[in-house]
A and B are shown apart, each in its own frame.
Chain A
Amino acid sequence: MSTTVRDTALFGLVAVLLIGTGMIQGWNSALLILNMGLISAIMALGVNLQWGFAGLFNIGVMGFVALGGLAAVLVSTEPVPEAWQAGGLRIMAGLVLGALTVVAAVQAQKRLEGRTKTIATLVILVGGFFLYRAVFDPGKVAVEAVNPAVSGNLGGLNLPILLSWPVGGLLAAGAAWVIGKTALGLRSDYLAIATLGIAEIIIAVLKNEDWLARGVKNVIGLDRPVPYEIDLQQDPGFVERAASLGLDPVTASTLYTKMGYAILFTIVLLILLWLAQKALQSPWGRMMRAIRDNETAAEAMGKDVKGRHLQIFILGSAICGIAGAMMTTLDGQLTPGTYQPLRFTFLIWVMVIVGGSGNNFGAVLGGMLIWWLWVQVEPLGLGLMNILSMGLEDGSALKDRMIDSAAHMRLLTMGVVLLLVLRFSPRGLIPER
């Protein structure tokens, strides 16, 4: 079987799974899975860029995804003028002071020598920190006191939410630049721990800095790029068309909005996939893989290993940021409490490894396939447990236990899938070529 046929068959399998889901569980669930699958595929593309192309071990995906979500809030919500009046400028001044402190400390590290260097850096950092707190804290308190039940934050720019997708990418890219500058020189497993830590810090910031995006009070009811179901149901033209297809208006409207999202996501995925393919086949892509396979040799050939690593780290993270903004748009809300590394970092890694690292199509396949599995494991597990415990009498402790445990099947299955693929097909379903 030629490779093209094989790859097409694998994507066909995903299609069959989705269509099967549609026929058995309803088209709404199928479209729901498809939409998140498309977003997961984009995240997997980003991780594949970093790991597959360049061998960078980034397990801080969750942080970049959350930054994308933050962008959705900052771009699309309405500004809160009272909050800006109460302390907006103070907060901005505080942040600028904080940034200046870091820049000054870095400059001191670069320019000074010996003991003066250490002392100057410490003085700048400690003095800057207290100055920052003195300017920033009153502003933060004032802003968070403004009508805390509905706002308590500075609000956003009131722009169309579609704009937040590229902005999410930019935000993630900015964070990746800072992280890359400090941590990219480290060995692979140190970089892993460093990115893991940064992701946790980003989530901690989102949870605690209420002035930014209301923290754990969550921002709900974000704008949508597609029409609301309720508006569609009241549109006589739409109801008529739905009736002509033999659908009742409620089902038709939910399917219509989900289809809208699916089309938007597919467009973004195709653009990114096309760009990633172009990059992979360009001299730049070959250089990246050369650096990955042998850093010393690439360096001897005059390639700027550190610079290229920084570049691809930023690009990959930006893609994760875009996906994060898309996900928050789809959810219509930003809930920092729900970001967990197992779901947003390690699951994406499972997608990349299972799909095939180093191959963009592999990453996309892995994203769609593993997402389908992640969603379906629970009902499948429940079915399995029901069959297994059929012989037991109703109400027995073991039976209850077995049925309860179906809810925990997800993580176990993902682990087993990852281990099996690593063992028997370490290059993934669609390997690098």
Chain B
Amino acid sequence: MDFLNAVVAFANFVFVPGLAYGAQLAIGALGVTMIYGILRFSNFAHGDTMAFGTAITILFTTAFIGMGITFGPLPTALLALPFGIGATILLLLGTDWAVYKFYREQKASPVILVIVSMGVMFVMNGVVRFIIGVRDIRFADGERFIITAREFREMTGLDEGLAIKTTQAITVVVAFIVMALLFWFLNKTRTGKSMRAFSDNEDLALLSGINPDWVVKVTWMIVAALATTAGVLYGLDKSFKAFTYFQLLLPIFAAAIVGGLGNPLGAIAGGFVIAFSEVTITYAWKKVLVYLMPESLEPDGLVQLLSTDYKFAVSFAILIIVLLFKPTGLFKGQSV
């Protein structure tokens, strides 16, 4: 019984939150890795792209709720998501046309494009603040829990409860659908195959008649969809704040690099690696250990390896370790 309690406590405080956070990071990292693979630069504006997509989605959510349209037990934001994605696609295609295209045609070095993306980051950050301000916004509605801690305790008779938030379940389901779609697209469709060819060897791809403009356009559209989805899922699970999204850049990049930049499978693995390490290292393990250890050995502290404020340090430490020992990431990534 104690063992079961420990398992439930672990699932409640570590596994379920880690899984949801990992899924959000993974979708974010997929966007970063797609840009790196095909456009060949690290996009610093990705966090702000996520914030933009989420901001538009929030506006549509508010409008829908105002019109009385809701999604039953599910958050209304899911209905608004396609509109957010649409707006973000327009924004990214516009940015590419106005900014990035010039440097691509010049064949500017990747580091110049990174600096350019810093400029885009400033602009997008400003635009998001124009649109929605700097407040903390919660926009999740519908049922809050699939199962609450109390229901779980009554159902099983255990001391520990397992609460699963609707948003956590939605995150995992949506992430699974998004990843399945993306891999189907990359592996089975003609455009997807040409994108992979372009990523592997640009010259050969051009030689075999692949239209680079089309590949770039499709990439931005996919990135817009991924960024908006990741942003909305993160915002539903926690809350929306422009500055937090900017800070997500670090764990997202850590995930993409740990997995191997340019490798979609790696981005997903990296997302979960980063998320679970952050959660396990900053979690106070006392709650789980009291069930597993005999009473005399019970820890008196919280058994927390690092305080939660150091979660950046965790993603960063993993990043450095992986880079020092496996410079192209866990899965083989590209290097320019």
Q: Are A204 and B312 in contact (CB under 8 A)?
A: yes
CB contacts (< 8 Å) of B312 on chain A: these are 197, 200-201, 204
A194-218 CB mask vs B (1 if < 8 Å, else 0) is 1011101100100110000000000
Q: Are B118 and A187 in contact (CB under 8 A)?
A: no
| Whole-angstrom distance between the Cβ of A423 and the nearest chain B Cβ | 6
| Whole-angstrom distance between the Cβ of B191 and the nearest chain A Cβ | 27
B149-185 CB mask vs A (1 if < 8 Å, else 0) is 0000000000000000000000000000000000000
Q: Are A418 and B119 in contact (CB under 8 A)?
A: yes
| Whole-angstrom distance between the Cβ of A196 and the nearest chain B Cβ | 6
CB contacts (< 8 Å) of A196 on chain B: these are 249-250
Question: Within the complex, which residue of B102, B122, B319 is in contact with A193, where a contact is CB–CB below 8 Å?
Answer: B319
A129→B115 CA distance, assembly (Å): 38
A419→B102 CA distance, assembly (Å): 12
B315-336 CB mask vs A (1 if < 8 Å, else 0) is 1100110011001000000011
Which of the 9-residue segments B125-133, B136-144, B215-223 touches chain A?
Answer: B125-133
CB contacts (< 8 Å) of A349 on chain B: these are 115, 118
Question: Within the complex, which residue of B112, B119, B125, B323 is in contact with A342, where a contact is CB–CB below 8 Å?
Answer: B125
A240→B99 CA distance, assembly (Å): 59
Q: Are B309 and A207 in contact (CB under 8 A)?
A: yes
Q: Decide: A410 near B126, CB < 8 A? Known: A208-B310, A419-B120.
A: yes
A305→B286 CA distance, assembly (Å): 49
The answer, yes or no, to whether A270 is at the interface (CB within 8 Å) is no
CB contacts (< 8 Å) of A208 on chain B: these are 307, 309-310
| Whole-angstrom distance between the Cβ of A411 and the nearest chain B Cβ | 4
Q: Which residue of chain B has its CB nearest to the CB of A347?
A: B122
Q: Are B125 and A411 in contact (CB under 8 A)?
A: yes
Q: Decide: A189 near B313, CB < 8 A? Known: A57-B114, A422-B115, A423-B102.
A: no
Question: Within the complex, which residue of B124, B313, B319 is in contact with A204, where a contact is CB–CB below 8 Å?
Answer: B313
The answer, yes or no, to whether B246 is at the interface (CB within 8 Å) is yes
Q: Are A353 and B115 in contact (CB under 8 A)?
A: yes
| Whole-angstrom distance between the Cβ of B41 and the nearest chain A Cβ | 8
The answer, yes or no, to whether B257 is at the interface (CB within 8 Å) is yes
The answer, yes or no, to whether B197 is at the interface (CB within 8 Å) is no
A426→B120 CA distance, assembly (Å): 16
| Whole-angstrom distance between the Cβ of B217 and the nearest chain A Cβ | 21
Within A411-430, which residues are at the interface with B (CB < 8 Å)?
411-416, 418-419, 422-423, 426
A408→B41 CA distance, assembly (Å): 28
Q: Are B122 and A414 in contact (CB under 8 A)?
A: yes
The answer, yes or no, to whether B123 is at the interface (CB within 8 Å) is yes
A296→B254 CA distance, assembly (Å): 28
Q: Are A418 and B253 in contact (CB under 8 A)?
A: no
A55→B129 CA distance, assembly (Å): 33
| Whole-angstrom distance between the Cβ of A146 and the nearest chain B Cβ | 20
**Interface majority SS on B: helix, strand, loop or mixed?**
helix
A341→B244 CA distance, assembly (Å): 12
A13→B336 CA distance, assembly (Å): 41
The answer, yes or no, to whether A108 is at the interface (CB within 8 Å) is no
Q: Which residue of chain A has its CB nearest to the CB of B108?
A: A426
Q: Are A204 and B257 in contact (CB under 8 A)?
A: no
CB contacts (< 8 Å) of B313 on chain A: these are 201, 204
Question: Within the complex, which residue of A410, A412, A418, A423 is in contact with B118, where a contact is CB–CB below 8 Å?
Answer: A418
Q: Are A415 and B115 in contact (CB under 8 A)?
A: no
The answer, yes or no, to whether B42 is at the interface (CB within 8 Å) is yes
CB contacts (< 8 Å) of B320 on chain A: these are 182-183, 194
Within B277-336, which residues are at the interface with A (CB < 8 Å)?
305, 307, 309-310, 312-313, 315-316, 319-320, 323-324, 327, 335-336
Q: Are B257 and A193 in contact (CB under 8 A)?
A: yes
The answer, yes or no, to whether B79 is at the interface (CB within 8 Å) is no
CB contacts (< 8 Å) of B327 on chain A: these are 186
Q: Decide: A189 near B114, CB < 8 A? Known: A415-B123, A419-B119.
A: yes
CB contacts (< 8 Å) of A426 on chain B: these are 112
Instruction: Give how many B residues have a beta carbon under 8 Å from the other chain's beta carbons.
Output: 45
CB contacts (< 8 Å) of B307 on chain A: these are 208
CB contacts (< 8 Å) of B309 on chain A: these are 204, 207-208
Q: Are B316 and A201 in contact (CB under 8 A)?
A: yes
The answer, yes or no, to whether A228 is at the interface (CB within 8 Å) is no
The answer, yes or no, to whether A190 is at the interface (CB within 8 Å) is yes
Question: Within the complex, which residue of A188, A201, A411 is in contact with B122, where a contact is CB–CB below 8 Å?
Answer: A411
A189, A200, A349, A416 interface centre (most CB from chain B within 10 Å): A189
**Interface residue tally of chain A, by bracket?**
35 or more
Within A340-369, which residues are at the interface with B (CB < 8 Å)?
340-342, 346, 349-350, 353
CB contacts (< 8 Å) of B50 on chain A: these are none
Q: Are A419 and B130 in contact (CB under 8 A)?
A: no
The answer, yes or no, to whether A373 is at the interface (CB within 8 Å) is no
Q: Are B316 and A200 in contact (CB under 8 A)?
A: yes
CB contacts (< 8 Å) of B85 on chain A: these are none
Question: Within the complex, which residue of B42, B111, B129, B305 is in contact with A411, where a contact is CB–CB below 8 Å?
Answer: B129
Q: Which residue of chain A has its CB nearest to the CB of B111?
A: A188
The answer, yes or no, to whether A192 is at the interface (CB within 8 Å) is yes
Q: Are B257 and A190 in contact (CB under 8 A)?
A: yes
A350→B120 CA distance, assembly (Å): 12
Q: Are A193 and B250 in contact (CB under 8 A)?
A: yes
A125→B305 CA distance, assembly (Å): 13
| Whole-angstrom distance between the Cβ of B326 and the nearest chain A Cβ | 12
CB contacts (< 8 Å) of A419 on chain B: these are 99, 116, 119-120, 123
Question: Within the complex, which residue of A197, A341, A350 is in contact with B316, where a contact is CB–CB below 8 Å?
Answer: A197
The answer, yes or no, to whether B110 is at the interface (CB within 8 Å) is yes
A350→B116 CA distance, assembly (Å): 10
The answer, yes or no, to whether A405 is at the interface (CB within 8 Å) is yes
Q: Are A342 and B246 in contact (CB under 8 A)?
A: yes
Within B227-273, which residues are at the interface with A (CB < 8 Å)?
243, 246-247, 249-250, 253-254, 257
The answer, yes or no, to whether A290 is at the interface (CB within 8 Å) is no
| Whole-angstrom distance between the Cβ of B320 and the nearest chain A Cβ | 6
What 13 new A-B contacts, CB under 8 Å, besides A189-B41, A413-B126?
A183-B320, A186-B327, A193-B42, A194-B320, A200-B316, A201-B310, A204-B309, A346-B118, A411-B126, A412-B126, A415-B120, A415-B122, A418-B122
A residues with a Cβ closer than 8 A to B are 55, 57, 129, 182-183, 186-190, 192-194, 196-198, 200-201, 204, 207-208, 340-342, 346, 349-350, 353, 405, 408-416, 418-419, 422-423, 426
27 CB contacts below 8 A, A to B, read A55-B111, A183-B320, A187-B335, A189-B110, A189-B111, A192-B42, A193-B253, A193-B254, A193-B257, A194-B316, A196-B250, A197-B254, A197-B319, A200-B316, A201-B313, A204-B313, A208-B307, A208-B310, A346-B118, A408-B129, A415-B122, A415-B125, A415-B126, A419-B99, A419-B119, A423-B99, A423-B102
- Across the A-B interface, give the 9 residue pairs with the lowest CB-CB distance, nearest first: A415-B122, A412-B126, A415-B123, A197-B316, A418-B119, A411-B126, A408-B129, A419-B119, A189-B42
